[in-house]
Amino acid sequence: MPDAIMSPGLAEFVDSLETMAFVTPMPAAPDAIAPMLPRLIQIEYACPQYGAIRIAAGSAFGALLASNLLAIDPSTPEALAASDDVLQELANITCGAVIRQRGLATDERLHMSLPTSEPMDTAQWDAFVAMADVQVLDADGHIIAFQTVGLEAA
């Protein structure tokens, strides 16, 4: 991943994605098209500062991750059914990696929410990827977007 696009938490996201599902994202082309059936996955944490990890991806990307984890064809109903759960687990793993790698956990109480998933329409996708701190990536031909909230560059 080129240093020019590295944003806070992106290295942990890429590492989590590579370790979890053997997928290496690269910067997306500027004219990348939004995925079909996009979802916004979010997990929040406080330790003690507030932060959030947000991943926007289509259901087909979640099915690809599920297929890599479960050794099934990504076009099967089982892979599509597991899509949301796998994307939420990716957010969970990334959040834990961010907290650990950046030394955010202190002697104070750590709180991590359960990951949530919400459908996005085209306008919501466009607004999300237009934010300056959102990284749009191509992961094995799937366009995904990643954002951290409340995390400064290391």
| Domain count within the chain | 1
Q: Is 145 inside any structural domain?
A: yes
pLDDT of residue 2 exceeding 70: no
> Is the pTM of the predicted complex or chain greater than 0.85?
yes
Statement: residue 91 has pLDDT above 80: yes
Q: What is the domain range of residue 100?
A: 3-149
Residue 154 inside a domain? The answer is no
In this structure, is residue 9 part of a structural domain? yes
Residue 63's H or E segment, with its range, is: helix 59-70
Q: Which two tokens stand for residue 110?
A: 């750590």
Report yes or no: 124 and 40 within 8 Å, Cβ to Cβ.
yes
Which CATH number belongs to the domain containing residue 88 in this structure?
3.40.1550.10
Amino acid 5: pLDDT: 53
